[in-house]
Amino acid sequence: MTRDNFLKGAAILGVSGLIVKILGAFYRIPLSNMIGDEGMGYYQTAYPLYVLLVAISTSGFPTAIAKIVSEKRALQDYRGAHRVFKISFMGFLFAGIITSIFVFFTAGYIVELVGNEDAYYSLIAMSPALFFVPIMSAFRGYFQGRQTMVPTAMSQFVEQLFRVSIGLFLAYQLVGLGLPQAAGGASFGASAGGIAGTIIIVIIYFKERKNILHEMDKSVATKPESVGKIVKDILVIAIPITIGASILPIISTIDTFLIMRRLQEIGFTQKEATALYGQLTGNAQTLINLPQVLSMAIAISLVPAVSSAFAKKNFESIRNITKSGVRVTLLIGLPSAFGLFILSTPIIDLLYYNYDLSQMQSTGAILQVLALSLVFLTLIQSLTAILQGIGKIMVPVKNLAIGAVVKTIFTYILTGIPSINIKGAAISTIMAYLVAAILNFIEVKRYTKVQFKFKDTFLKPIISTFIMTVTVWAVYRYSVLLLGSKISTVLSIGVGGVVYIIALLLTGALTTEDFELLPKGEVIAKKLKSKGLLRG
């Protein structure tokens, strides 16, 4: 695979991934306005378990299939490559049947165990997705192994588009029957997306089948590998990746079990606990996910940049990229965290217009705590990308697992304190990401030997964020009585953004190297330097 083709493929998947994340992030805002925090609680009770089962059955396997298929095609063993696909397809089909049947027939028992029986419709509505998503993953792995990224990108986009549109449509249609049914309709969006994405990629496969058969006719004669050998090769690659991809879904699933039970143990009814859980995971967490669209773009750019330098043994370049990556991540994470912290309740009021005053204040208080986790979460993403780039794939997995243990302990203790209740889960999230970020930071310094300059890496972003935060607070406070909360919130965000950019340029927090991590960054940097707005 040529470097240009690789970059083109990475760009296609990167753009597709960002669009999918943006759709997913904004999806829950209108959904929450339809079904409220109680309905979101039912939806969110089922969703983490679905994500966990999908992660276990699909996360590492497309990568493993792609790697083995690519290797065999490089040796012109095209029949062998297609045999890997057929065997993996049968494995995925079996996994899909098992997981979907398991959830369908045990849904009642699972939601009873969680302590949220009205989440039954939400969980059972996702069971078809558990059949189709693994099948789709087999096709994605095969096409990626053929160095064709468009089928994966198209199926991702179609899957998310159907998930969002069908989910919102069914939630709207069913809300009159009750919140559990409406949440079930929203959950069926995942199944509709899985079905649509599978249909698209299967259609693409059959359109390409003539070329695939023609290619197989040119295959070199080799002895077919046994099914056991192929399965073993796939598992060796897939299992470590799957473990890493399962950590966050496991954390979410543990949260589901712990939070609902602990809240009810300290006196909340099932409905009250469900509403609080919906405020945490369906509303506050949704807003935490939005800035990650930017931080993930940085992380995606860091992996190939670090990998390329590592392959050339250019350790000085790795250290420069690392310093720039951490600094740019802080430039995103710090203002996002403190902006959400200062405007937590006004933002909830702006976006969730169906909330009454008590719901707005409760969700705002949760968001205010959870916002601080953004600093550490965005750092984790970039530090993980750096460690992956230098081949230390399991190091961030181990550190995140340690963070998960910390989160479980703090969630259990803090949510059991009546005066803290649901905010205990938000505090435990901060603690988990803080621990994982510190451990990743230590490992990055250890393996890259990088030395961070406190002034450039930390002080300048902190000063710029402080200036922005004070500005946002002042604009909102002195305009809210005149303009009202909603207009003042939008005005504060706009003014804060402009002031933050000016502060970054004045403090010299941004450098030319930072812009090189972004698409067309060199062009932007050149224009800013020509106007004297960018130093170095």
- Map tokens 């969002």 to a residue: 164
Classify residue 134 by its DSSP letter: H
8 Å CB contact between 96 and 135: yes
Classify residue 511 by its DSSP letter: -
The whole-number average pLDDT for the span 134-151 is 82
> Domain locations in the chain?
291-536
pLDDT digits (tens, 9 = 90+) for 258-296: 888 899 899 888 888 888 888 888 788 888 877 877 777
What pTM did the predictor assign?
0.75
8 Å CB contact between 334 and 461: yes
- Given a cut of 60, whether residue 13 has pLDDT beyond it is no
Q: Please tell me the predicted confidence (pLDDT) of residue 92.
A: 85
Q: Where are the beta strands (DSSP E) in 247-404?
A: none
The whole-number average pLDDT for the span 295-317 is 76
User: Which structure tokens are listed for 372?
Assistant: 């601080």
**Banded pLDDT at 14 (limits 50, 70, 90):** low
Residue from 323, 304, 324, 270 nearest 390 by CA: 304
Residue 406: CA atoms inside 13 Å, Cβ hemisphere, count? 19
The whole-number average pLDDT for the span 309-333 is 86
- Given a cut of 60, whether residue 9 has pLDDT beyond it is no
Residue from 244, 287, 464, 443 nearest 373 by CA: 287
Cα separation, 30 vs 43, in Å, equals 14
User: Which structure tokens are listed for 492?
Assistant: 């504060």
Amino acid at 332: I
**Banded pLDDT at 17 (limits 50, 70, 90):** low
Q: Please tell me the predicted confidence (pLDDT) of residue 341.
A: 95
Contacts of 58 (CB under 8 A, 6+ apart): 92, 133, 134, 137
* Cβ count near 405 (within 10 Å): 13
**Banded pLDDT at 150 (limits 50, 70, 90):** confident
Task: Find the range with the poorest average confidence among 134-143, 237-246, 402-411.
Answer: 237-246
Q: Please tell me the predicted confidence (pLDDT) of residue 532.
A: 66
The answer for 33, left when phi > 0, alpha when psi is -120 to 50, beta otherwise, is alpha
Scored b (16 or more CB within 10 A) or e, 498-507 reads: ebbeebbbeb
User: Which structure tokens are listed for 105?
Assistant: 């027939």
Range from 237-241, 350-354, 371-375, 506-510 that averages highest in pLDDT = 371-375
Q: Please tell me the predicted confidence (pLDDT) of residue 394.
A: 83
The whole-number average pLDDT for the span 482-486 is 90
Q: Where are the beta strands (DSSP E) in 144-249?
A: none
The whole-chain average pLDDT of the chain stands at 83
The whole-number average pLDDT for the span 116-131 is 89
What percent of the chain has pLDDT above 90? 29
List, in sequence order, the alpha helices (H) in 59-126.
61-74, 78-114, 120-125
Classify residue 458 by its DSSP letter: I
The answer for 392, left when phi > 0, alpha when psi is -120 to 50, beta otherwise, is beta
* Cβ count near 518 (within 10 Å): 16
